[in-house]
Amino acid sequence: MLIDAIVVDVGESLRELRCAAAERFVKHGVSMTQIHVLRQLEQHGAMSMSHMADLLDVSVSNATGLIDRMVEHGLVERVGLPDDRRVVMIRPSVQGQQALDDADGIKLDRIRAICERLDEAQLQRITMAIADVRGAIAAEVEAGDRATTN
């Protein structure tokens, strides 16, 4: 019961922060799908069009159309591999990375403002709880990595 309450509360809080950042993207004409592509590139680094299509669970032609629009908006760039000109990699452009940084800055500013509403004792409790959660996340990620390699 306590875990369910935590999951609901954390989920709602994360949604509110994500929406605040996403609203800024949308105001600048960047779609949620394009945001997702930028986040995938941020997480995994430069990748081929086929790998991006796999991550998005779309055909290569659909991914190509999406990436074409993102190139037009200056959010991503295509780069060829020097040793194999047939392979084209996609990576965030400077403008695309700046858009991600801006969105992260909005979330961090909001978290900072929220924390400023708390007293010292509350902040210390949160700090200890977050340390516990980070340790549990690390253990869960490690367990998940072991499960996928076996």
Residue range 89-124, pLDDT digits in tens: 999 999 999 888 887 787 788 889 999 999 999 999
What's the order of all strands across the beta sheet hosting 84-92? 47-48, 84-92, 76-81
Nearest to 63 by CA among 45, 80, 44, 76: 76
With a cut of 50, list the residues of the chain below it in pLDDT.
Answer: none
Q: What is the pLDDT of residue 33?
A: 87
The verdict on pTM exceeding 0.85 is: no
Q: Give me the percent of the chain exceeding a pLDDT of 70.
A: 99
**Residues in a beta bridge with 92:** 76
**Residues in a beta bridge with 42:** none
Q: What is the pLDDT of residue 150?
A: 67
Tell me, which fold does domain 2-107 have in CATH?
Arc Repressor Mutant, subunit A (1.10.10)
